[in-house]
């Protein structure tokens, strides 16, 4: 209810909250806080995201060192992770394309780009990654990499989405 009041009063503010698993001991507060933060950073569109909804991805993050995950993602995604506007746009295009199950028309609508613009970006991304994004296992792997980075707050698309 608080979310809807704030969203109605301040429509320019995008609120999101993460909810951890239940813990009984105060010593587990750090774990609870980390889970809530990971849930909040998840790419799920809901305003309130429960850590337990993260499923496999949550377990992956929980059991691996974030620095090691970032290292793996950097190796796989290469220059798409460079901190410049062009690469951020390409990475965001890739993310939306993969979230849309490689459907060009839906991606075109979501990004407000022409079909030719989407095709050009996808071809450029495939060259950078040296991967065929039409392959289902490759697409799933790359999407998992991006969602991992979003979840551990190593990247954000907030400034791109508006």
Which residues are CB-contacts of 157 (< 8 A; sequence separation ≥ 6)?
Answer: 88, 92, 95, 150
How would you write the pLDDT of the chain (162 residues) with one tens digit per residue?
Answer: 777 787 788 777 777 888 988 899 999 898 899 888 888 877 777 788 888 888 777 777 777 778 888 999 999 999 999 989 999 999 999 999 999 999 999 999 999 999 999 999 999 999 999 999 999 999 999 999 999 899 888 898 888 864
Q: Is the pTM of this model over 0.85?
A: no
Please say whether the beta carbons of 107 and 118 come within 8 A. Answer: yes
């Amino acid at each position: 209810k608080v979310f809807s009041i704030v969203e109605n009063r301040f429509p320019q503010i995008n609120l999101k909250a993460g909810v951890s698993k239940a813990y009984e001991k105060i010593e587990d507060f750090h774990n609870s806080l980390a889970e809530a933060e990971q849930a909040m950073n998840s790419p799920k569109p809901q305003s309130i995201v429960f850590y337990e909804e993260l499923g496999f991805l949550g377990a992956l993050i929980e059991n691996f060192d974030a620095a090691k995950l970032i290292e793996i993602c950097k190796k796989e995604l290469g220059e798409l992770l460079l901190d410049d506007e062009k690469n951020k746009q390409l990475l965001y295009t890739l993310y939306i394309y993969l979230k849309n199950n490689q459907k060009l028309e839906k991606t075109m609508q979501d990004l407000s780009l022409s079909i030719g613009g989407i095709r050009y970006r996808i071809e450029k991304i495939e060259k950078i990654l040296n991967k065929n994004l039409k392959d289902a296992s490759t697409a799933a792997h790359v999407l998992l990499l991006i969602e991992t980075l979003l979840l551990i707050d190593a990247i954000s698309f907030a400034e791109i989405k508006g």
